[in-house]
């Protein structure tokens, strides 16, 4: 018998909500055994709605204790109660509904709604968690004013928080106390939050440009409060940046952040009360790496920026998710670029896009930035919605320019502040503010798939003209066989034989523009651009700054690439040329067998290392070969072991060919004794030093292993210690175990460091990595209930260790399927996320296809499979 699973929701079926809730009062009585939630909703029928329209409230996984309408108790029969909500057939135009529900947050392992993490109560309501707290029209276009009273035992839960401002508090005789919070801004239910616990607080203040003083508070468990200084500094930088870049100020008197150890995602932008995964708040030099410091700043910024892009203007429905997420990721990218190296930031953004979004767009879960349907909305918090969504926003910025973009954003806020709107509304604001037609641009929201941009060129010495012929196409994706041409910015420069950018004058223009590069607007399937006054054949630098989320096809020779790697004035394309040089070689080796490292590549890397004008962080990126995930995407049929072997061979040959340079670079950087600072400069130098150490350890000599062990033992910060540990954990001998044991013994009381310990082992290149990971599932520090632990061990192995995950015996697939099944009963959202690597089964050889498919089918046969996992797995198997 096949089980019943939820049916899809379609974007086109949107209807305005028949009833609105102008305000509500909530009262939570929190307790260890059961929690009671009383809500009083002030409900109005919307204009134009039929008076016979029933009232529907979503609700699940809780017990309804009482229900009354305008003070009159309702009995079963007055309303209809189902597993997903309740309906009342006939209601007045305006009325008050009172509801009491009983919850057991201590048993909530899904971490959605109200749950317990460690000793504290906390909530996660996006997207549809509020309906696990009380019955409510839990949809983002119902915006209400909330007053929330939290009651709990004063000794165990001295801190009681919710959205907005605290307005009243008091004590009861029985040891309990209460605090009442009022949020003056109408908000959708997904932004509701509550926290109760015994928490320490770091407090600070911030004065906005207009002179308002805002109290800033970061709450953590007591032992962690000393790790919150960086988060606080990041918050202040975010607030300042949003004022300077967008003229946007914070709007409440208090901004709170709470760090919790059990959290499904990174963080949540609840109005005035952000709840964060500890991973994105806590940072101290001895327990957090430079990357952690950067991530904390980025995520603090991201959630803060949501206050305007997401909270003040929110989404009409969940199909519009990218309206807030794409825009906020883009703002976060701008912020991080402004705080550090813009070039390195862009490289990392594109790396995420290519490693995660491109494969998604090429697989069975491919969907447009604004999806047309979903079964489980939690499955659509994807790289497409977030990262491709951010690229779409970036393209407006590139096409309209900084000032034009800002005009569009200003108009968007002017029109829609306080509203729940759509991606079309954002596009209309951009178009109207700039008086341009963006109707073709809207295809970026509706068409899935990564477009291919084919560029060919010709040079005519007689007329001194140079022509670029550009054609675009987009592969079919599920449900979309034909695609229309996209409107996109192609930023180009033409590099002369000295490495300088040529003045760019298109045929028909009176003079060259005074810029090194220009944005060509692509709208047609085929288009040509003729540049005049070009004295010699130039080398094109195409798609500078990665101006559109496409795959570029231009027949660069190795010589062209080496030249651009040495000279391109656009740092992104400079990096890109080096990556392409290496990936062309690695793909050739994977297909035809590993050969000898070509001298020009060795020379190019050597010159990059010696380049005085480049900063360390950029050099570190430039000399690192493309990831195995990126290489895999370039292959018709992915050969994970072949890719791994080629990449390792390249590293090995670079290590040997430049052994002296690595050593002197390492020694020079390691002798720097300046105190640790997690700033761009310090982090870049550490990164370069550790890349050099990585090459040195490819030499596989005993002395290099000793060097690693020394760095591991003597490191004064987590960045250096972890980098050395990761290299040691890759080695086959016993030293790996010695180091891993020392590390665990030292850090076992720091959960976030233990996560790193799991991750390093999950990503180890050792041949027995899977056996070790399987054994670690039984380790006392591992918990299937904790999403960070799952991501660190299972997620990292299956997503970031392709050579071991795709072992020919299929054991990696079986391991993953076993764990998806085990986790599905605990936390379906996280279980579904783990399934991504199996969903790509069609990209592999027939034997692997068979093995992966069998595991997917086994998952599908599991009794009581969640909608979350069911959606991913059944779509993966569909034809
Ligand atoms: N908006 C949240 C994500 C919620 C995910 C729900 N499954 C975090 C963020 O993007 O800022
Ligand atoms: Zn977000």
* Same domain (yes/no): 467, 319: yes
Residue 1 has pLDDT above 50, yes or no: no
Asked, for residue 63, whether it belongs to a domain, the answer is: yes
pTM of the shown model: 0.99
- Residue minimizing CA distance to atom 7 of ligand 1: 378
3-class SS of residue 722 = helix
In angstroms, the CA 792 to CA 733 distance is 23
Q: How far is the CA of 250 from the centre of ligand 1 (A)?
A: 20
Site of tokens 């805002």: 214
- pLDDT at site 187: 98
> What percentage of the chain exceeds 70 in pLDDT?
100
Residue ending a domain, choose from 198, 219, 239: 198
Asked, for residue 71, whether it belongs to a domain, the answer is: yes
Closest-approaching ligand to the CA atom of 266: 1
Report residue 673's pLDDT band, with 50, 70 and 90 as the boundaries: confident
In terms of C-beta density within 10 A (0-12 exposed, 13-18 middle, 19 or more buried), how is residue 661 classed?
A: middle
> What percentage of the chain exceeds 90 in pLDDT?
98
Average pLDDT over residues 222-241: 98
Q: Report how far apart the first and last C-alpha atoms of the chain are (Å, whole number).
A: 22
Average pLDDT over residues 124-150: 98
In terms of C-beta density within 10 A (0-12 exposed, 13-18 middle, 19 or more buried), how is residue 61 classed?
A: middle
- pLDDT at site 327: 99
Question: 494 pairs with which residues across the strands?
Answer: 540
Q: Ligand 1 pocket test: which of 273, 310, 381 has the largest number of ligand atoms within 8 Å of its C-beta? A: 381
Closest-approaching ligand to the CA atom of 326: 2
In angstroms, the CA 731 to CA 737 distance is 10
Alpha-carbon distances, residue 99 vs 40, 96, 188, 777 (angstroms): 7, 10, 19, 43
Residue 230 has pLDDT above 50, yes or no: yes
Residue 879 has pLDDT above 80, yes or no: no
Asked, for residue 33, whether it belongs to a domain, the answer is: yes
Closest-approaching ligand to the CA atom of 309: 2
CATH of the domain at 868: 1.25.50.10
Q: Evaluate whether 43 touches 19 at the Cβ level (below 8 Å).
A: yes
CATH of the domain at 345: 1.10.390.10
- pLDDT at site 2: 54
pLDDT digits (tens, 9 = 90+) for 687-705: 999 999 999 999 999 999 9
Q: Evaluate whether 617 touches 290 at the Cβ level (below 8 Å).
A: no
Q: How far is the CA of 41 from the centre of ligand 2 (A)?
A: 28
Task: Examine residue 410 and say whether the peptide bond preceding it is cis (omega within 30 degrees of 0).
Answer: no
Nearest ligand 1 atom, CA 269: 11
Residue 13 has pLDDT above 50, yes or no: yes
Average pLDDT over residues 774-779: 98
Structure tokens given for 153: 């035992």
Question: 170 pairs with which residues across the strands?
Answer: 178
**Degrees (nearest 5) of the Cα angle 820, 826, 831?**
30
Q: How far is the CA of 327 from the centre of ligand 2 (A)?
A: 9
- Residue minimizing CA distance to atom 2 of ligand 1: 268
- pLDDT at site 82: 96
User: Which residues fall within 8 angstroms of residue 638, CB to CB, at 6 or more apart?
Assistant: 632, 843, 844
DSSP tag of 232: H
In angstroms, the CA 627 to CA 631 distance is 6
Closest by Cα among 242, 209, 204 to 225:
204
In angstroms, the CA 89 to CA 71 distance is 18
In angstroms, the CA 343 to CA 367 distance is 29
Q: How far is the CA of 309 from the centre of ligand 1 (A)?
A: 13
How many folded domains does the chain comprise? 3
Residue ending a domain, choose from 180, 198, 216: 198
Q: Evaluate whether 318 touches 380 at the Cβ level (below 8 Å).
A: yes
Nearest ligand 1 atom, CA 325: 10
Task: Report phi then psi at 499, rounded to 5.
Answer: 90, 10
Q: Evaluate whether 400 touches 430 at the Cβ level (below 8 Å).
A: yes
In angstroms, the CA 97 to CA 23 distance is 11
Structure tokens given for 261: 């150890």
Check if 778 is active-site.
Answer: no
Asked, for residue 592, whether it belongs to a domain, the answer is: no
For 511-528, b where at least 16 C-beta lie within 10 A, e where not — what string? eeeeebbbbbebeeeebe
Residue 372 has pLDDT above 80, yes or no: yes
User: Which residues fall within 8 angstroms of residue 542, CB to CB, at 6 or more apart?
Assistant: 455, 490, 492, 552, 554, 573
Q: How far is the CA of 324 from the centre of ligand 2 (A)?
A: 7
* Same domain (yes/no): 393, 527: yes
Domain holding 51, by residue range, is 9-198
In angstroms, the CA 28 to CA 192 distance is 13
Report residue 613's pLDDT band, with 50, 70 and 90 as the boundaries: confident
Pairing of strands 373-374, 420-421: unpaired
- Residue minimizing CA distance to atom 6 of ligand 1: 126
Asked, for residue 241, whether it belongs to a domain, the answer is: no
Residue 361 has pLDDT above 80, yes or no: yes
In angstroms, the CA 471 to CA 215 distance is 54
- Residue minimizing CA distance to atom 8 of ligand 1: 268
Pairing of strands 452-460, 465-473: antiparallel
Average pLDDT over residues 26-42: 98
DSSP tag of 113: E
Closest by Cα among 325, 329, 299, 331 to 311:
325
Asked, for residue 877, whether it belongs to a domain, the answer is: yes
Asked, for residue 284, whether it belongs to a domain, the answer is: no
Asked, for residue 417, whether it belongs to a domain, the answer is: yes
Question: 153 pairs with which residues across the strands?
Answer: 176
Residue 191 has pLDDT above 70, yes or no: yes
Pairing of strands 373-374, 465-473: unpaired
DSSP tag of 503: P
Q: Evaluate whether 150 touches 194 at the Cβ level (below 8 Å).
A: yes
| Largest Cα span, the chain | 96
Average pLDDT over residues 389-409: 99
Residues in contact with ligand 1 (CB, 6 Å cut-off): 126-127, 265, 267-269, 302-303, 306, 325, 378, 381
**Degrees (nearest 5) of the Cα angle 644, 650, 654?**
145
Nearest ligand 1 atom, CA 829: 7
Structure tokens given for 607: 């010159």
Report residue 670's pLDDT band, with 50, 70 and 90 as the boundaries: very high
Residue ending a domain, choose from 198, 233, 261: 198
Question: 527 pairs with which residues across the strands?
Answer: 470
Residue 241 has pLDDT above 90, yes or no: yes
């Amino acid at each position: 018998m096949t089980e019943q699973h939820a049916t899809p929701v379609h974007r086109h079926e949107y209807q305005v909500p028949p009833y609105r809730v102008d305000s509500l009062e909530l009262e939570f009585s929190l307790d260890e055994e059961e929690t009671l939630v009383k809500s009083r909703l002030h409900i109005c029928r919307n204009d134009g709605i039929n008076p016979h329209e029933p009232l529907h409230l979503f609700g699940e996984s809780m017990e309804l204790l009482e229900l009354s309408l305008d003070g009159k108790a309702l009995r079963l029969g007055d309303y209809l109660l189902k597993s997903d909500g309740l309906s009342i057939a006939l209601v007045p135009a305006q009325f008050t509904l009172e509801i009491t529900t009983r919850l057991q947050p201590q048993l909530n392992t899904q971490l959605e709604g109200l749950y317990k993490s460690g000793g504290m109560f906390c909530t996660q309501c996006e997207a549809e968690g509020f309906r696990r707290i009380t019955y409510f029209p839990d949809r983002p276009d119902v915006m209400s004013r909330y007053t929330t009273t939290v009651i709990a035992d004063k000794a165990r839960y001295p801190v009681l928080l919710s959205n907005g401002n605290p307005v009243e508090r008091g004590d009861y005789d029985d040891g309990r106390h209460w605090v009442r919070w009022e949020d003056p801004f109408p908000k959708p239910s997904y932004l509701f939050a509550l926290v109760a616990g015994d928490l320490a607080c770091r407090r600070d203040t911030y004065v906005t440009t207009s002179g308002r003083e805002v109290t800033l508070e970061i709450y953590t468990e007591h032992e962690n409060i000393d790790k919150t200084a960086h988060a606080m500094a990041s918050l202040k930088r975010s607030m300042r940046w949003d004022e300077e870049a967008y003229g946007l100020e914070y709007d409440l008197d208090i901004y709170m952040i709470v760090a919790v150890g059990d959290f499904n995602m990174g963080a949540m932008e609840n109005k005035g009360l952000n709840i964060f995964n500890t991973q994105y708040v806590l940072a101290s030099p001895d327990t957090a790496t430079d990357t952690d410091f950067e991530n904390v700043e980025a995520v603090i910024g991201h959630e803060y920026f949501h206050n305007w892009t997401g909270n003040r203007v929110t989404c009409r429905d969940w199909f519009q998710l990218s309206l807030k997420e794409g825009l906020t990721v883009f703002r976060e990218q701008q912020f991080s670029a402004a705080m550090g190296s813009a070039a390195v930031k862009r490289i990392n953004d594109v790396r995420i896009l290519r490693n995660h979004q491109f494969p998604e767009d090429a697989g069975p879960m491919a969907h447009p930035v604004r999806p047309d349907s979903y079964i489980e909305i939690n499955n659509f918090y994807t790289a497409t919605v977030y990262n491709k969504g951010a690229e779409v926003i970036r393209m407006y910025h590139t096409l309209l320019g900084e000032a034009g973009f800002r005009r569009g954003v200003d108009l968007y806020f002017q029109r829609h502040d306080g509203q729940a709107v759509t991606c079309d509304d954002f596009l209309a604001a951009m178009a109207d503010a700039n008086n341009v037609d963006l109707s073709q641009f809207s295809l970026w929201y509706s068409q899935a798939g990564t477009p291919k941009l084919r560029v060919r060129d010709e040079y005519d010495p007689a007329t001194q003209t140079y022509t670029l012929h550009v054609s675009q196409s987009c592969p079919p994706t599920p449900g979309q066989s034909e695609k229309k041409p996209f409107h996109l910015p192609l930023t180009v420069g033409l590099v002369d034989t000295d490495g300088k950018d040529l003045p760019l004058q298109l045929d028909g223009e009176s003079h060259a523009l005074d810029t090194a590069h220009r944005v060509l607007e692509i709208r047609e399937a085929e288009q040509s651009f003729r540049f005049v006054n070009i004295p010699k054949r130039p080398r094109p630098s195409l798609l500078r700054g990665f101006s559109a989320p496409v795959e570029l096809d231009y027949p660069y020779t190795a010589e062209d690439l080496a030249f651009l790697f040495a000279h391109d004035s656009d740092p992104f394309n400079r990096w890109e040329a080096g990556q392409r040089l290496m990936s062309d070689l690695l793909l050739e080796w994977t297909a035809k067998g590993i050969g000898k490292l070509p001298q020009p590549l060795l020379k190019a890397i050597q010159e990059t290392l010696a380049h005085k004008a480049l900063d360390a962080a950029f050099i570190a990126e430039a000399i690192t070969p493309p990831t195995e995930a990126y290489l895999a995407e370039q292959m018709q049929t992915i050969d994970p072991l072949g890719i791994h072997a080629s990449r390792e061979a390249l590293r090995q040959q670079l290590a040997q060919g430049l052994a002296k340079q690595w050593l002197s670079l390492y020694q020079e950087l390691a002798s720097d004794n300046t105190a640790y600072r997690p700033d761009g400069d310090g982090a870049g130098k550490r990164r370069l030093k550790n890349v050099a150490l990585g090459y040195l350890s490819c030499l596989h000599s005993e002395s290099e292993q000793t060097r690693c062990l020394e760095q591991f033992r003597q490191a004064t910060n987590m960045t250096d210690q972890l980098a050395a540990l990761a290299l040691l954990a890759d080695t086959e001998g016993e030293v790996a175990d010695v180091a891993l044991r020392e590390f665990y013994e030292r850090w076992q009381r720091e959960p976030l460091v233990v996560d790193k310990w799991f991750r390093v082992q999950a990503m180890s290149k050792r041949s027995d990595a899977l056996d070790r990971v399987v054994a670690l599932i039984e380790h006392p520090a591992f918990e299937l209930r904790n999403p960070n632990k799952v991501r660190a061990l299972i997620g990292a192995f299956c997503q970031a260790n392709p050579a071991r995950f795709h072992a020919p015996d299929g054991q990696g697939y079986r391991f993953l399927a076993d764990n998806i099944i085990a986790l599905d009963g605990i936390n379906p959202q996280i279980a579904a996320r783990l399934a991504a690597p199996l969903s790509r089964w069609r990209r592999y050889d027939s034997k692997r296809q068979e093995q992966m498919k069998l595991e997917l089918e086994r998952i599908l046969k599991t009794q009581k499979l969640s909608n979350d996992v069911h959606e991913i797995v059944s779509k993966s198997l569909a034809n």
